[in-house]
């Protein structure tokens, strides 16, 4: 199996990868280089973080995540995805309600 790792020398600490990680396994450390790091045992190798990095400093490395840790990480990712779906449904409902309140513009002259 593979996980991802961050090139600490290249990371600009923007935080985008941390925001999208469904297992919250990308951590921010305010010491030293002030950078982000991946805790590999929480990584499910979904690859979501890779394309959001503006400096392409996240790459794949070989690492075997222990089975128990992988199971926990997958459970976390499922909960994250369910939460994202709920938030999207809530947003869609708010948009629909707001649009319904807008007075219709007459097309007749």
Q: Which residues bind ligand SF4 (CB under 6 A)?
A: 4, 6, 11-17, 21, 23, 25-26, 36, 38, 43-49, 52-53, 55, 57-58
Closest distance to ligand SF4 from the beta carbon of 105 (Å): 43
Nearer CB in complex with ligand SF4: 13/92: 13
Closest distance to ligand SF4 from the beta carbon of 90 (Å): 23
Identify the CA nearest to 4 among candidates 66, 50, 51, 53. 50
- Tell me how crowded residue 46 is: count the other CB atoms within 10 A of its CB: 15
User: 15 near 26, Cβ under 8 Å?
Assistant: no
């Amino acid at each position: 199996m593979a996980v991802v790792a961050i090139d600490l020398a290249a990371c600009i600490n923007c935080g985008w990868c941390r925001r999208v990680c469904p297992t919250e396994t990308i951590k921010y450390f305010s010491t030293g280089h002030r950078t982000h790091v991946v805790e590999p045992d929480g990584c499910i190798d979904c690859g979501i973080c890779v394309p959001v990095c503006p400096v392409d400093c996240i790459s794949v490395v070989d690492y075997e995540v222990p089975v128990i840790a992988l199971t926990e990480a997958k459970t976390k990712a499922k909960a994250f995805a369910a939460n994202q779906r709920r938030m999207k449904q809530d947003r869609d409902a708010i948009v629909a309600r707001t649009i319904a309140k807008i007075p219709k513009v007459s097309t007749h002259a």
